[in-house]
Structure 1
Amino acid sequence: MLTIESAVPNLELVDSTGQPWRLSDDHDVRGTLLYFMRSTSCPICNLHVRDLVARRTEFDDANIRVVIVVPEDRTAGHAWKTDRGIPFPVLTAATGSAHESVGLTRRVFGTMQQSGTVLVDGDGIVRHAHGSTLPTAGYDKKGIAAAVHALPDIRN
């Protein structure tokens, strides 16, 4: 898993419409919160996404961009986003595995994808990183709130 104060690797992601996505695309945010789902069919991960959606105003007020990263392909990600009415960008890896690029691997005999959250400040530095094999522990709500609160108001 990424460590606090480390620079984020160059993630090659695409949104659910096939457009390339980069952390550096939006220079006007204090930070970006990436939630890595275990799968779009994981009921616990879906609860976590519902919490993120319910807290959307809080993130907007704090100038935090929220994105959801899924391990499935773009087509499956788009169908899930549309079906659930997800207001955030839904991303997947352009090549390889987005999850593995931040240290969220498959555990338990290579079958269970880890889930987790990464908060990156406007300068591309990790301010919060949390992952877990158990989906119930992959979303650290208190840790995210503390990290958002600690972000500087403007970029250096």
Structure 2
Amino acid sequence: MLTSGSPAPQMVLEDTAGQTVRLSDYQGKHAVLLYFLRSTSCPVCNWHVRGLAKSGEELAAADVHVLLAVPEDLETAAAWKAKHRIPFTVLTGRSGTPHEMIGLSRKIFGSMQQSGGILIDSQGIVRHAHGATMPTNGLDRKGITAALVSLRAPGPIE
């Protein structure tokens, strides 16, 4: 799993329209909150997405672009986005899952998909990273809020 202060991962993903999306595409433009759902069928993860949608205006005002990463294939992700009218870009992996790319899968009797989130500032630095096996803990709202506040804090007076 990533740590705060590390460079953003060089992830190349695909949106539900089949377009290539790189996290580096946002560098110099917006901060990015990337939420990793355990699966599109996880009711708790869907609850977190609804909460993010309710906070959409606040996040946009803070210049944060929300992306959702799902472990399923492109067709499943597109159907889920349409069915639930998801207002955010939904991403899948081209080879492997987005979760595997940052270490969000845990090996217990095979493999267990984890959920979590990373907040990357507009300069491409991870400001918050959190992962959880239990989806109820997958979206660390307090940690994300604290990281957002620190992004807006003025620098030291010179």
TM-score (norm 2): 0.92
Structure 1 residue 80 and structure 2 residue 88: aligned?
no
Letter of the aligned partner of 1:51 in structure 2? G
**RMSD, matched Cα:** 1.5
Task: Report if aligned partners of 1:130, 1:140 keep a CA contact under 8 Å in 2.
Answer: yes
Give, in angstroms, the shift of residue 57 of structure 1. Answer: 0.5
Query: Which sections of structure 1, spanning at least 5 residues, go unmatched?
Result: none
Letter of the aligned partner of 1:134 in structure 2? M
Letter of the aligned partner of 1:32 in structure 2? V
In the other structure, the counterpart of 2:29 is 28
Secondary structure at the counterpart of residue 40 of structure 1: coil
Secondary structure at the counterpart of residue 109 of structure 1: coil
In the other structure, the counterpart of 1:40 is 40
CA distance in 1, matches of 2:77, 2:51: 18
CA distance in 2, matches of 1:110, 1:33: 29
Give, in angstroms, the shift of residue 124 of structure 1. Answer: 1.2
CA distance in 1, matches of 2:88, 2:145: 18
Letter of the aligned partner of 2:59 in structure 1? F
Aligned residues: 153
Moved more, 60-69 or 16-25: 16-25
CA distance in 1, matches of 2:99, 2:2: 11
In the other structure, the counterpart of 2:134 is 134
Give, in angstroms, the shift of residue 122 of structure 1. Answer: 1.2
CA distance in 1, matches of 2:58, 2:2: 25
CA distance in 1, matches of 2:15, 2:150: 28
Secondary structure at the counterpart of residue 151 of structure 1: helix
Structure 1 residue 18 and structure 2 residue 18: aligned?
yes
Letter of the aligned partner of 1:55 in structure 2? S
In the other structure, the counterpart of 1:68 is 68
Task: Report if aligned partners of 1:107, 1:133 keep a CA contact under 8 Å in 2.
Answer: no
Give, in angstroms, the shift of residue 152 of structure 1. Answer: 4.7
Query: Which sections of structure 2, spanning at least 5 residues, go unmatched?
Result: 154-158
Give, in angstroms, the shift of residue 24 of structure 1. Answer: 2.3
The runs of at least 4 consecutive aligned structure 1 residues that moved more than 6 Å come to none
Task: Report if aligned partners of 2:114, 2:133 keep a CA contact under 8 Å in 1.
Answer: yes
TM-score (norm 1): 0.93
Letter of the aligned partner of 2:44 in structure 1? I
CA distance in 1, matches of 2:109, 2:119: 28
Give identity over the alignment, percent. Answer: 52
Task: Report if aligned partners of 1:8, 1:125 keep a CA contact under 8 Å in 2.
Answer: yes
Closer, same or farther in 2 for the Cα pair 1:89/1:39, shift >3 Å? same
Structure 1 residue 123 and structure 2 residue 129: aligned?
no
CA distance in 2, matches of 1:35, 1:87: 13
